[in-house]
Amino acid sequence: MKDLSVFSGEADLTKVLFVDNHIFSFAANLKNGIPVVDFLGDRQDTELLKVANYVLALADESNLMRANE
Protein backbone atom coordinates (compact mmCIF):
# COMPACT_ATOMS: atom_id res chain seq x y z
CA MET A 1 0.00 0.00 0.00
CA LYS A 2 1.42 3.37 -1.02
CA ASP A 3 0.36 6.92 -0.39
CA LEU A 4 1.82 10.07 1.18
CA SER A 5 4.03 12.00 -1.16
CA VAL A 6 5.93 13.32 1.88
CA PHE A 7 8.05 10.18 1.82
CA SER A 8 10.66 9.94 -0.88
CA GLY A 9 10.57 6.71 -2.82
CA GLU A 10 8.05 4.08 -1.84
CA ALA A 11 6.71 4.03 1.69
CA ASP A 12 5.33 0.80 3.06
CA LEU A 13 2.49 2.18 5.16
CA THR A 14 2.07 -1.15 6.94
CA LYS A 15 5.22 -0.10 8.82
CA VAL A 16 4.32 3.55 9.54
CA LEU A 17 2.46 5.19 12.43
CA PHE A 18 1.73 8.90 12.81
CA VAL A 19 1.36 10.55 16.21
CA ASP A 20 -0.30 13.94 16.16
CA ASN A 21 -2.72 16.08 18.13
CA HIS A 22 -4.52 17.12 14.92
CA ILE A 23 -6.34 14.29 13.17
CA PHE A 24 -6.23 16.13 9.85
CA SER A 25 -2.48 15.50 9.85
CA PHE A 26 -3.15 11.84 9.08
CA ALA A 27 -6.75 12.06 7.84
CA ALA A 28 -5.83 10.39 4.53
CA ASN A 29 -4.30 7.49 6.45
CA LEU A 30 -6.47 7.01 9.53
CA LYS A 31 -5.33 3.43 10.09
CA ASN A 32 -1.80 4.76 10.55
CA GLY A 33 -2.76 7.46 13.02
CA ILE A 34 -2.46 7.72 16.76
CA PRO A 35 -4.32 10.80 17.95
CA VAL A 36 -3.10 12.46 21.13
CA VAL A 37 -4.38 15.35 23.21
CA ASP A 38 -2.57 18.69 23.17
CA PHE A 39 0.44 19.07 25.45
CA LEU A 40 -0.06 22.20 27.51
CA GLY A 41 3.07 22.08 29.66
CA ASP A 42 1.60 20.08 32.52
CA ARG A 43 4.45 18.10 34.12
CA GLN A 44 1.88 15.51 35.23
CA ASP A 45 0.87 14.83 31.60
CA THR A 46 1.45 11.13 30.84
CA GLU A 47 0.13 11.06 27.27
CA LEU A 48 3.57 10.58 25.70
CA LEU A 49 4.30 7.65 28.03
CA LYS A 50 1.00 6.04 27.05
CA VAL A 51 1.84 6.48 23.36
CA ALA A 52 5.33 5.05 23.90
CA ASN A 53 3.90 1.97 25.64
CA TYR A 54 1.32 1.53 22.88
CA VAL A 55 3.94 1.77 20.13
CA LEU A 56 6.22 -0.66 21.99
CA ALA A 57 3.30 -3.10 22.27
CA LEU A 58 2.95 -2.97 18.46
CA ALA A 59 6.68 -3.30 17.78
CA ASP A 60 6.53 -6.94 16.68
CA GLU A 61 3.47 -6.55 14.46
CA SER A 62 4.10 -7.12 10.76
CA ASN A 63 1.24 -4.81 9.73
CA LEU A 64 0.92 -1.72 11.91
CA MET A 65 -2.12 -0.50 10.01
CA ARG A 66 -4.07 -3.63 10.86
CA ALA A 67 -2.82 -3.71 14.46
CA ASN A 68 -3.67 -0.04 14.98
CA GLU A 69 -7.22 -0.29 13.59
Cα(33)–Cα(9) distance, integer angstroms = 21
pTM, full prediction:
0.79
Across 54-65, average pLDDT? 97
Q: Is the pLDDT of residue 20 over 60?
A: yes
Q: Is the pLDDT of residue 7 over 70?
A: no
Q: What is the residue-averaged pLDDT of the chain?
A: 89
Q: Judge residue 58's burial from the number of C-beta atoms within 10 Å of its C-beta, 0-12 exposed, 13-18 middle, 19 or more buried.
A: middle
Identify whether the C-beta of residue 28 lies closer than 8 Å to the C-beta of residue 3: yes
